[in-house]
Structures are given as structure tokens and as C-alpha cells.
Amino acid sequence: MGIMEREKLKELLLECKMLGFSDVQLSNLLNKDEMEIRALKKELGITPLYKMVDTCAAEFEAKTPYFYSCYENIFYEGEQNESNPSDRKKIIILGSGPIRIGQGVEFDYSTVHAIMTLKDTDIEAIIINNNPETVSTDYDTSDKLYFEPLIFEEIMNIIEHESKNGDILGVIVQFGGQTAINLAMPLYNAGVKILGTSPQSIHLAEDREEFSKILKALNIPQAKGATVYNEKDALNVVQEIGGYPILVRPSYVLGGRAMEIVYSEEELKDYMKEAVKVSPEHPILIDKFLEDAIEVDVDAVCDGEDVFIGGIMEHIEEAGVHSGDSACVLPPQNLSKEIIDKIVEYTTKLSKELRVVGLINIQFAIKDGIVYIIEANPIYIILYFNCHNITLFIF
């Protein structure tokens, strides 16, 4: 690449970043991989500056640990980063972004208690989140807050910036809902240390085929089902598992997002057309729907060896109603001691097998005296656990 061509490319990329183009968008426009775009920016010296949010409306000098990134004027003499990495040990926690299904207020609660724990251990707590309506984004909650989009590009920029001084012990993703969890593997593949439950274990729970293998090895019942990628496979699976009704949902989503009970071929075809829009890079999960079953949610924590069950919650509505729309009673009122013992046994066995370090939520369905596992989320809770001490064994 000649000097003139190099300068022209630098000018073009910088202008695109100033206009708000992400690396993913640039990779699509230039027909390159996202990591190639990232490497090219570094080669050309295009990295963001971090500026402090002025919480005092310029009436007097603001001193807050609240920063945002920009590309404007990054080559102008005198422009400086206002975020200066400390020489302390630090941990980065990914927030959950906007509050919606799969990213509820319980994640913000957990994040705040994680911050409190890190402060008690004299570790610098750095938050990345972009929702101004949460407690975790109050400018005086964490030691440092980056108000940035929760995407790979921005998180890596912050990690590299903070790595210039001090020691980053790792990143915690399990207090950030589905958005943070989806970033676990890309960050891990980029060499970032993920604290708590490993990305591999998260994948085992999210991947239907791998999860089914684990349940079979542990002798834990599961409703008949399969993973499909297209309408034809979906129709074939329905015949294999004994017909309708079926439960369909995308993989790699939390909180029952886009989950439906389907009673006919027409409904299934309609769902398959819409489901691709929800999660085009991941398959659709199809299960035989257990009618008139009792649904149970279990929230637990595990340090890799010991499992503590915080609560066994019996749904008032029958299985199939989303947890956020249903009512639960605690302790359970209609479950026998044998059923509860079996739930405890399955929760313990599965948590250890998945090598969970931190939170786990497991959903069960009880029908005809048999305890079936619906799914497990090794990063998700419904109960408002006091997470003040959970963070201690995550790292």
C-alpha cells in the first residue's frame, strides 16, 4: 500500500468512524472480516479517545468516572484521553443494556452487588453499560463507567485501553443477561479471560444437541425434541416426536423470548418464517409440549464443587407460560417430597457437570410424577439473590 493510498484509506475509515459506522458495518461494506477491519484501524492509528461526561453542565469542573468514546479530533495535537487507566487490579463487568425480556432488572441488581464486592476487596470495578435508567450506571456506583454499546468492538477497545496500566483480572459476563452472554465466546476467542462459568460451559447449556448428551449421560429426563435449521426439518421432527402440540423457541435467547406453543402445521410454518429474524445464526429448538404439567423454576449458585439452591419456585400457571408473565409460589405447595428431592438431585448433578461458577437457573416440568428438564441457563436468575458474595468465588 502506497503512502497516498494509505493516507486516503485512513481518512476514509476515520470519517466513517466519526459518522458512527461500526466495525461490523465497515466489514460488510468493504467485504472484509471484522477482525481485519480492527487490525487495519490499529495499523493506521485509528483508536478512540475517551471523554468524561460533564455532570455539572460546565458550571464548575466535573470529576466523574463516567466516560464515552469518540473519534473526532483524534489526530489533532493536544487532544487527550480523559480516561487514564489506573495501576490497580481491575475487573470489567458487562451490563445488560436496555431493560427487556432476557435483560431484566435482576441483572442490574446483580451488577450493583458485584461492584460492592469488588470494592470491598480493593479491586477496581469497571462497568460497561449503556442504559441511563439503571443503578449500575449511576456515576458514583462503580469506580469507572464506560457508557458504550455492548458490542465486541467497543468492549475490546476498552479492554485494550485499560490494559495500558494495571492488571485486568478478567471480565464478568453473567450479570449482563443475554447480550453479555452472547459476547462471552467472541471475547474468549480474542484472548480475554472470562471469569466465572466458562464460555464452553455456557455453550454446552445453550446448544441443544450437546445439552441433550449431558442429560442422557446424567440419566435426567427431557421432553422429546430436536434442533432444526429450516422448515422441512421442523416438519419432520414433529412427526418423530409424536405430533402436536410442540414448544418452539430460538437457541441462545433468555427469558422465553420468541417462544411459542404450536398446535398445527400452519402455525409452525408461520413461526419458522419469523424465527429466523430473531436469531438467524442459531437453530430453532423444538420440544414435545408437556400439556397440563407443573412448571418449576430453580435458582442456584455453584462454586464448581458445592451447590446452594436459593429457591424452588412452583408456577401457578401450567407449564408453557413465560416466567415473566406467570406467578410463582415459594416454597412449592403441590410437590411431594420425592419430587423436590429429585429436583435437588438434578440441579446439583447438572450444575457440577456444567462446571458452573456463579449463577444458574433451571426450568423443570413435572408430569405424571416424572421430573423433566426444560432448559438450563448457567448465568441467569429469577430470584433477587444477594449477589454481594457471589462475586467472590467467580474469580
pLDDT tens digits along 56-70: 655 556 566 889 998
Q: Are residues 5 and 26 in the same domain?
A: yes
| Euclidean distance between CA atoms 62 and 56, whole angstroms | 6
Q: Do 72 and 189 share a domain, yes or no?
A: yes
Residue 289 resides in a domain: no
Last residue in a domain, options 197, 226, 256: 197
The more confident residue out of 289 and 78 is 289
Q: Which runs of consecutive H residues, i.e. helices, occur in the chain? A: 3-18, 23-30, 34-43, 105-120, 152-162, 177-189, 199-206, 208-218, 231-240, 265-278, 337-353, 390-394
- Domain residues for the domain of 14 are 1-46
Q: Is the pLDDT of residue 218 over 80?
A: yes
Claim to verify: residue 86 and residue 175 sit in the same structural domain:
yes
Instruction: Pull the grid cell for residue 60.
Output: 464548575
Contacts of 368 by beta carbon, 8 Å cutoff, 6+ apart: none
Q: What is the CATH number of the domain that holds 62?
A: 3.40.50.20
Picking from 165, 197, 229, the residue at the C-terminal end of a domain is 197
Same domain, yes or no: 56 and 167: yes
pLDDT band at 277 (very low <50, low <70, confident <90, very high): low
Give the pLDDT confidence score for residue 386 in this predicted structure.
53
228 pLDDT above the threshold of 90: no
Query: Do 37 and 54 reside in the same domain of the chain?
Result: no
Higher pLDDT, 252 or 295: 295
Q: What percent of the chain has pLDDT over 90?
A: 33
Q: Tell me, yes or no, whether 64 and 29 share the same domain.
A: no
Can you read off the three cell numbers belonging to residue 40?
A: 487495519
Strands 328-329 and 307-318, bridge-based pairing: antiparallel
Cα–Cα–Cα angle for 10, 16, 20, rounded to 5 degrees: 140
In a domain, 179, yes or no: yes
> For the chain, what is the mean pLDDT?
83
Question: Is 381 within a domain?
Answer: no
**Residue for grid cell 419458522:** 272
Specify whether 54 is located in the same domain as 42.
no
10 has pLDDT over 60: yes
Residue 347 lies in a domain: no
Confidence at residue 159, expressed as pLDDT on a 0 to 100 scale? 96
Tell whether 377 is covered by a domain.
no
Same domain, 134 and 12: no
For residues 134 and 173, membership in a common domain is answered with: yes
27 and 65 part of one domain:
no
Last residue of a domain, one of 148, 167, 197: 197
Least confident of 104-113, 220-229, 302-311, 364-373: 104-113
Query: What is the domain count for the chain?
Result: 2
Q: Which pLDDT score, from 0 to 100, does residue 280 have?
A: 54
pLDDT of residue 329: 87
Is pLDDT above 70 for 388? no
Least confident of 36-45, 127-136, 361-370: 127-136
Q: Is residue 61 one of the residues assigned to a domain?
A: yes
26 and 146 in a single domain? The answer is: no
Is 166 within the bounds of a domain? yes
Q: Could you give the CA distance from residue 40 to residue 42 in angstroms, rounded to a whole number?
A: 5
pLDDT at 254 over 80: no
| Residue 168 maps to a domain | yes
My answer on whether 32 and 57 are in the same domain is no
pLDDT, one tens digit per residue, over 303-361 is: 888 999 989 999 988 777 766 677 888 889 999 999 999 999 999 999 999 999 888 98
